[in-house]
A and B are shown apart, each in its own frame.
Chain A
Amino acid sequence: MTEPITVVVVDDHAIFRSGVKADLDGRVRVVGEAATVEEAIAVILEQQPQVVLLDVHLPGGKGGGGAEVIAGCGDVRQTTRFLALSVSDSAEDVVTVIRAGARGYVTKTITGADISNAVLRVASGDAVFSPRLAGFVLDAFGTAAVAAAESELDRLSARELEVMRLIARGYSYKEVAKELFISIKTVETHVSAVLRKLQLSSRHELTRWAAERRLL
């Protein structure tokens, strides 16, 4: 048995934090908790966990919530990965925290087993996409195949589009792999590539889409 993944849970509701702690299984160990932006940054810098479960909306700081925590963690970001967790499924919250550097996004209705899996997946460097996040990506990048002349960052490849579509349809990574006759590892590679594009792209459509929703 390998060492459990170290996790810091950041959420302003104590009930939710204890719920998450109870839900996480033996592969994950909670080493710290925080309820505000300042507390979160302090705990993360002190504990240097492998994964931070981060609520999007947090009191304190300059009002930036989860995104501000990620920005405030500085160099620790090299080793610590952030998984955003929220009740909100508004595009604003999701895209803001992803572009700040979170490796994935899940809603708080996620089950215990799923959240442990998501933590493990993020810890191993992969991205975690919920169906809704996949939907946002498809909305932002467009669902049509794009002319090859555009920058690599600004479009999704045909394969990435397929993967995103299947995730949006509620398929797990395993089911996506089976559907497309590729390995789970390949699915993870595609998803990570999409995440990187979502974080770095300055694609016209993305910025316009974001501007319409007042995201950037």
Chain B
Amino acid sequence: MRPPLLRSEDALIAGVCGGLAAHLGVSLRAARITMVALSLVGGAGVVLYGWLWLLVPTTEERRRGVATPAGLRLGAPVLEGQRSKPARSFGAAGSREVMIGVGLLVVAAAFVAQQLGVTVQWGWLVPVGAVALGAVLAWSQLDEARRARLMDHAGATRAEGVARLAAGLVLVMVGLLILVSGSLSWEFTWPVLLATAAVLGGVGLVLAPWGLKFWEDLEAERSARVRETQRAEIAAHLHDSVLQTLALIQNRAASEQDVIRLARAQERELRRWLYADTAERTGNLADRIKAVAAEVEEEYGHPVDVVSVGEAPLTPRQDALVQATREAILNAAKHAGGAVSVYLEAGTAVSQVFVRDRGAGFDPEAVPPDRLGIRESVINRMQRHGGTARIRSSETGTEVQLTMPEEEAGASHD
């Protein structure tokens, strides 16, 4: 890809030839000779040079103003120039030119007014100009963003706001002029008071930028302090939890089971602290299932992974579902060992839980009647509350499927 067309830093006049040479991939000497040769042809080179000087930004200007994505870089120099032009007119050089232009226009307007018969008091124009220049100087202390923010605060972005600001400025100038012109007689107390107020306003206006800067620094300091507090809080939490667990793990390094259990418990705790929004833990069905899964995991040391979909409030019926789920997970952890997968699909009409293990499996029919766990705590409990329980077992694992409808008649859901 060609380098973008930019005026070179290493320049005889304005770096146009250097930039062109880099962009077109020819030598600098060739570019300069061509430019001189073109100048001899009726001055075409001079015109081209001047035109490129105006339109092509320097490397510095490009870096400051026009940060274009690399993918949008255009090959053709003409397009490059056109695109750079608006960016230049808003640059620092642009605003200076605008200011000079406005100044000249004001002077010109005064001359025209005098020609038309209006007596212009030239003595007034100098202080007015001085005040305006002072304000401009003060305001140029602020960068673009701060100025925009302050303008926004003052309401200067709306027409009404602009009018108010302009009125204020006029007041400032009138006040200053009265002071300067020396009408400080006691007979004119009212105008003097007005003038003083106006002066104060003017000083305030001029000092506002510094005030704003000061305020921002204060804000930055305060937010730094808040961050520091947060960091301290996190450090305290990590110390109480993670560091303690790591110390325990080092102690129990010999027992794999203990290490796994400690690590899982710590992981769960940390996850809850990191990801769960405290406001969201309202005790809905999913949270309850996760809680009982964690409980069993803690007790038996086998990982229990819960995946939950949807949301449902906790009703007495769902409470029975949670109890049955707990029993099923307990059973899986106790008899099958290894990882247990729990999947909850909660809905307003029906909620389903699947508890799956990878154990050797068992025959549900062959469970002795005195083994209360699965029969009483899972199957009968579900039936009592209007739900169903199904157990599928094979040599590759067992899955307990629990279905609890919210309404009495909704049990037909598959």
Contact = CB atoms under 8 A, between A and B. Distances in A.
Contact of B341 (A89, A90, A139, A169): A169
Interface string A15-54: 0000000000000000000000000000000000000000
Given A169-B343, A169-B399, A175-B396, A131 B305 contact: yes
B309 A143 contact: yes
B396 to A, nearest CB: 7
Nearest to B354: A169
Contacts, number: 40
Contacts of A121: none
B310 A139 contact: yes
A170 B305 contact: yes
B356 A169 contact: yes
B308 interface: yes
Interface in B345-377: 345, 347, 354, 356
B275 A138 contact: no
A170 B271 CA distance: 21
B79 interface: no
B343 to A, nearest CB: 4
A132 interface: yes
A84 interface: no
A64 interface: no
A165 interface: yes
A135 B345 CA distance: 9
A168 interface: yes
B307 interface: yes
Contact of B310 (A89, A90, A134, A143): A143
Interface residues of B, number: 16
B274 to A, nearest CB: 8
Nearest to B345: A143
Nearest to A144: B347
Contacts of A170: 305, 341, 343, 354, 356
A109 B347 CA distance: 30
A131 B343 contact: yes
Nearest to A135: B307
B265 to A, nearest CB: 14
Interface string A132-172: 10110011000100000000000000000000010011110
Contacts of A168: 307, 309, 343
Contacts of A134: 307
Contacts of A131: 305, 307, 341, 343
Nearest to B356: A170
A198 B271 CA distance: 25
Contacts of A143: 309-310, 345, 347
Which of A88, A109, A135, A169 lies at the interface centre, i.e. has the most chain B CB atoms within 10 A of its CB? A169
Nearest to A93: B275
Chain B CB within 10 Å, residue with most, of A90, A134, A135:
A135
A64 to B, nearest CB: 16
Interface in A167-183: 168-171, 175
Contacts of A89: 271
A168 B356 CA distance: 11
29 contacts: A89-B271, A90-B275, A109-B303, A131-B305, A131-B307, A132-B305, A132-B307, A134-B307, A135-B307, A135-B308, A135-B343, A138-B309, A139-B310, A143-B309, A143-B347, A165-B343, A168-B307, A168-B309, A169-B341, A169-B343, A169-B354, A169-B356, A169-B399, A170-B305, A170-B341, A170-B343, A170-B354, A170-B356, A175-B396
Interface of B: 271, 275, 303, 305, 307-310, 341, 343, 345, 347, 354, 356, 396, 399
Instruction: List 7 tightest A-B contacts by C-beta distance, closest first.
Output: A170-B341, A135-B307, A169-B343, A169-B354, A138-B309, A170-B356, A168-B343
